Amino acid sequence: MSKCRLYLITPPAIPDVAAFARELEAALGAGDVAALQIRLKDLNDYDLIAVAKVIAPIAQARGVAVLMNDRVQLVKSLRLDGVHIGQSDMSLKEARATLGPDAMIGVTCHNSRHLAMEAAENSADYVAFGAFFPTQTKVVEHMAELETLSIWQESMETPCVAIGGITAENAAEVAQAGADFIAVSAAVWSHTDGAAAGVKALIAAISGK
């Protein structure tokens, strides 16, 4: 089984960008983080660009891939590494045509191996399954089963991301089921001891320490 890595998603709102930038620095300094997804659904493009210009360089300076949620058209101008698209966003084919072959594109597939296989066949760099547990970060319409990760890992090469309600308490079972990446938001940004402690706890869990 490949080593499971951490994939951070921003909190749904960032009221103080400077304060969040410090938290992000601390979080990324606390252990191995593979990617950061900027997911700020309520911001208009202008405000989203302003936030991304502050936080993306912090992550990229540490070798962390930065992806934009949904807004494909902003990825190139901000020099981000790629985009994460949902089933109701721009199509994967259109996103690939817009961003080119080198951009990282991930696709939400809920609990559907069929959707995931279609995405993998159409050049997705990863597929995301979830939610695996109840979460406060977004309204959950689709619950996923850990078995979906195991079957995917046994049959497909494209990496899979597990998302939805994952915490230090349940991350180990998600990693063991076959997730290549574990996507988290509240478990880091709402951790009682701060974001760095949240990252450390999750990494300890998924590495079995």
Q: What is the pLDDT along the chain (209 residues), one digit of tens a residue?
A: 469 999 999 999 999 999 999 999 999 999 999 999 999 999 999 999 999 999 999 999 999 999 999 999 999 999 999 999 999 999 999 999 999 999 999 999 999 999 999 999 999 999 999 999 987 766 767 899 999 999 999 999 999 999 999 999 999 999 999 999 999 999 999 999 999 999 999 999 999 86
Q: Is the pTM of this model over 0.85?
A: yes
**Structure tokens given for 36:** 């950061």
Residue 176 near residue 158 (C-beta atoms within 8 A): no
Residue 101 near residue 81 (C-beta atoms within 8 A): no
Distances in whole angstroms, Cα of residue 73 to Cα of each of 47, 63, 109, 114, 178? 15, 23, 22, 27, 32
Domain that holds residue 159: 5-206
**Could you tell me where the DSSP H helices lie in the chain?**
17-29, 45-60, 72-75, 92-99, 113-121, 146-155, 171-177, 186-189, 195-206
Q: How many domains does the chain have?
A: 1
